[in-house]
Structure 1
Amino acid sequence: MNVSGLAAVPVALAGVLLSGSAMATEAHELPGAAMSLWWALPFAGLLLSIATGPLLYPHVWEHHYGKIAGGWAALVIVPMAMFFGPDVSSGAVLHTLLLEYMSFIILLFGLFTISGGLLVAGNIQGTPLVNAGLLLIGALLASVVGTTGASMIMIRPVIRANDNRPFNAHVVVFFIFLVSNIGGSLTPLGDPPLFVGFLRGVEFFWTTANLWREAFFVGGLVLAAFLAVDWHFHSREQGQPKVKDPTPHSKVRIRGVANIALLAGVIAAILLSASWKPGVTFTIQGVAVELQNLVRDAIILVLAFVSLAVTRKEYRAANGFSWGPIVEVAKLFAGIFICIVPVIAILRAGLDGAFAPLVALVTGPDGAPNDLAYFWLTGALSSFLDNAPTYLVFFELAGGDPQALMTSFATTLVAISAGAVFMGANTYIGNAPNFMVYAIARESGVRMPGFFGYMLWSGAVLIPTFLIAGFVFFG
């Protein structure tokens, strides 16, 4: 796969969408109050396709997921052009692609590429305390390099540490809970929903300052549950025949250390875009793109290509690095960002729109937002649908004003953020790294539970944890 092709995806889409000198119109200029729920069908259809495709028709999905996403996107673009005119349709879609999708996918591409060059080599014995330490390191790392990056860096060392234990599937299950999900809740780098919020105007360090209590509370309870479970299995193993270690112990070393500096550069680029406001904009077909965002995205791309140039190929090979996952994410999220355009327009209509029952469900009798309802509804949908668009739906449902959500309604934004990030761990399909970790573990010989077997684990560990957290923080 040619890496430069990733950047061409939104450009190609824009070329199809534009005709003549169509002027861009923002999504909220669509008549959301007059739009029915039928406009949300392509969005729901695409998310259901993503949720069921890898499980129910994996071979078809593997070869045609891009076409499926494109088909759902076309069911948005063509009717919008017919009902509201090509100018409004192309403008709304181009606005979303240029101001949200591009920055979103460039960050994921940068973190994916750079973290894929960091290799943790060597092996240690996976005792309960060692495993807990590895999970804690991975969870903290997730807020720096993203849940996908941390999962790629840490999953193979965790599997190697436990590959001579007869009971080791639970270690990977808790790895998904903590590293692939909960650990990514402290910064916009950690999980895609939080970066979507950053692109919508949520300050970079707002997430850290306002979610750390929930993150440490939930993460601490889950880590304590892991220690209890791992000690139980470890004690059962003592009376069983010893299994020959396929990866003998060796000194742990970090390879590809130049990528650590490159990751720091990504963080610096994002902080730069948040603090440097030169007031310079470039208009592309009527859409105003700010200079600081262009500079940020350019720096991240340069750092990713530097990583490819300076990292030895054998390090990426040892990590099982390939372009497949990021290509899939690029195609699917292009479809998601297009399909969500009419949904956002309807949500902005509030009680005047077709989603009025949903608005009423998360609103108290006095008109104030019901934070507990936001937490559980965002989390429930994030368990089975992708958590980034789910976050965006409830972000808009709560008003969509980042300044208000960071101040007067801060607890509501915390509830939305926590629900989206934490509860992506409830199923294999709740967050992109979940299924990736599952596949790597199975390829490595770990007897992973199936879809519903995994949900038994999440139901026993996570749901009680979330019930307690919901009562403590949002009840």
Structure 2
Amino acid sequence: MLNNFILLAQAQQALPMFLIIPFLLLIGMIAAGPIFFGHFWEHNYKTVAVVLGLTVLAYYLFVLGDVHMPVHTLAEYFTFAVLLSSLYIAAGGIYLNVNANATPAMNVALVAVGAILANFIGTTGASLLLIRPFIRLNIHRIKPYQIVFFIFIVSNAGGLLTPLGDPPLFIGFIKGVPFFWTLQHLISPWFLSIALLCLMFFLVDRRNKITGYTPRPEVVAKINEKTEFHFSGRRNLFWLAIIIGAVFLDPNVIEGLPHIYYDGTKISFLREIIQLSAAFMCYRYSSKTALAGNQFSFHPILEVVFLFFGIFFTMMPALQISAQIASAPAYAQYITPNFLYWTTGSLSAFLDNAPTYANFLSLAMAKFDMSQGNVEHVRQFALGTSAFGRETLIQLEAVSLASVLFGAFTYIGNGPNFMVKAIAESAGIKMPSFFGYVIRYSIPFLLPVLILVWFFVVHLRLF
């Protein structure tokens, strides 16, 4: 995983602010490209992302002489890309079809099941397994807002209960946070956020009237007769379990696993080899019927892999600069649960939420002279058993809630978001632009939930 950003930032001289220009440029092109120069962007987004990422990488290597940050970022990106690609391929060979009337209640039930499932197979696994059935169920009334609420609930907020649910929580687990800590301390905000988002989804979906579509009488009769589930590609469930199980094969947690040792960190490669091998077996022996039913292609995953290559490397300066600013002694008095919630959340929305979690966990612990490199320190920090009492526990709750929930605020806050968007667009759904997503959906629907979670859970401590 990404190493301690704050220690890295403090070890380096102050970074020039112009280094964040490539990141801002890439985000701006992701937002504006499909709208203002769609043809160019469609054919050149890979080149743009790679060139911008390599530009920042070259500056670190040849101007700053910093090898540490690029190596840790490359390791994190490789783990991210392998897991996402493996899950995408495995889910592509699993065909699930729901024969039912696509009522608002049915849609809410499906995303609620996805929210629960996300805690067992991750938000990425649940998203990739359910997004295609969700689209097929609503194919005669599909609208962009339905995909957006799917992203809110299944791809992000749902995975709040276990370290398997979302990458930030898994980082906390491998650093020493007990496995069941999230279930014990975050279940109330999980219920609150899922219930509010499902209620909003239900109320908005009730207004979705079918226009210009008249299903055949026999189709209507079959749908109204009973709800049925059609499933094929069962063999892929075995490989899916292998891919998810391999997530635990981290050499920093399990002694004796083969690894590459660099800069005090054990970098995994066995886990990635297992996941890629399982993905190959999935694709090689997948049901052709399931692949055809899912209209499987590699275009969506390639888009995510290339764009996030640029995002991971161009965001290195942004992460380090934010760490330098936040870790200054003058700001120590402001490191409160409220500060951590809103700062971690704001950065998680526009940077990848996993390294942001690691960044602010380290910052919160540093206030109490504790180190996230010490497993016992992290355990005491999470349980509130250190000399500082429950204050540390509350700070970890704030960081955990913000990194997961705010990950839904933009397409790039969490890996599954962009994947779901790409799959929806490949199915012919016209998804909102980057800023359209934020302005039309995140601000009016997600932000009130984030404010309520902050007010009742972090500020008032009612749950």
TM-score by length of 2: 0.76
Count of matched residue pairs: 430
Residue pair 1:27, 1:344 contacting (<8 A) in 2 also: no
Partner of 1:116: 92
Residue 223 of structure 1 pairs with residue 207 of structure 2: no
Distance 1:171 1:376, change over 3 A: same
The RMSD of aligned alpha carbons is 3.9
Distance 1:428 1:323, change over 3 A: same
Partner of 2:115: 139
Aligned counterparts, 1:170-181, within 5 A: 170-181=145-156
Residue 214 of structure 1 pairs with residue 219 of structure 2: no
How much does 1:318 deviate? 1.9
Distance 1:90 1:440, change over 3 A: closer
* Match 1:414 to one of 397, 404, 424: 397
How much does 1:183 deviate? 1.5
The letter for the 2-side match of 1:255 is S
Residue 72 of structure 1 pairs with residue 60 of structure 2: no
Partner of 2:159: 184
Residue pair 1:142, 1:150 contacting (<8 A) in 2 also: yes
Partner of 1:160: 136
The letter for the 1-side match of 2:446 is L
Distance 1:317 1:185, change over 3 A: farther
Residue pair 2:118, 2:158 contacting (<8 A) in 1 also: yes
How much does 1:218 deviate? 0.5
The letter for the 1-side match of 2:290 is Y
Residue pair 2:258, 2:270 contacting (<8 A) in 1 also: no
Partner of 2:214: 243
Question: Distance between the aligned counterparts of 1:445 and 1:171, measured in 2?
Answer: 14
Question: Distance between the aligned counterparts of 1:103 and 1:453, measured in 2?
Answer: 27
* Match 2:343 to one of 359, 366, 377: 377
Distance 1:60 1:389, change over 3 A: farther
* Match 2:301 to one of 310, 326, 339: 326
Mean CA deviation greater in 464-473 or 402-411: 402-411
The secondary structure found in structure 2 opposite 1:227 is: helix
* Match 1:125 to one of 97, 101, 105: 101
The secondary structure found in structure 1 opposite 2:269 is: helix
Distance 1:81 1:320, change over 3 A: same
How much does 1:122 deviate? 4.3
Question: Distance between the aligned counterparts of 1:55 and 1:101, measured in 2?
Answer: 28
* Match 2:254 to one of 268, 277, 282: 277
Distance 1:200 1:60, change over 3 A: farther
Residue pair 1:135, 1:178 contacting (<8 A) in 2 also: yes
Residue pair 1:347, 1:397 contacting (<8 A) in 2 also: no
Question: Distance between the aligned counterparts of 1:346 and 1:392, measured in 2?
Answer: 15
Distance 1:53 1:191, change over 3 A: farther
Distance 1:33 1:223, change over 3 A: same
Residue pair 2:155, 2:416 contacting (<8 A) in 1 also: yes
Partner of 1:63: 43
Question: Distance between the aligned counterparts of 1:270 and 1:58, measured in 2?
Answer: 37
Question: Distance between the aligned counterparts of 2:274 and 2:407, measured in 1?
Answer: 30
Residue pair 1:152, 1:319 contacting (<8 A) in 2 also: no
Which ranges in structure 2 are unaligned for 5 or more consecutive residues?
A: 1-5, 385-391
How much does 1:446 deviate? 6.0
Deviations 1:19-68 (A, max 9, x none): xxxxxxx9828842443434444444444444444444443333333332
Partner of 1:468: 452
How much does 1:466 deviate? 1.6
Residue 299 of structure 1 pairs with residue 279 of structure 2: no
Partner of 1:22: none
The secondary structure found in structure 2 opposite 1:406 is: helix
How much does 1:131 deviate? 2.0
TM-score by length of 1: 0.75
Aligned counterparts, 1:31-70, within 5 A: 31-70=11-50
Distance 1:359 1:169, change over 3 A: farther
The secondary structure found in structure 1 opposite 2:335 is: coil
Aligned-residue identity in percent: 37
Residue pair 1:27, 1:93 contacting (<8 A) in 2 also: no
Distance 1:51 1:359, change over 3 A: farther
Deviations 1:57-97 (A, max 9, x none): 44333333333233333333333344444xxx335423432
How much does 1:193 deviate? 3.9
How much does 1:201 deviate? 6.0
Partner of 1:97: 74
Residue pair 1:186, 1:208 contacting (<8 A) in 2 also: yes
Distance 1:296 1:48, change over 3 A: same
Question: Distance between the aligned counterparts of 2:430 and 2:311, measured in 1?
Answer: 33
Residue pair 1:27, 1:341 contacting (<8 A) in 2 also: no
How much does 1:474 deviate? 1.0
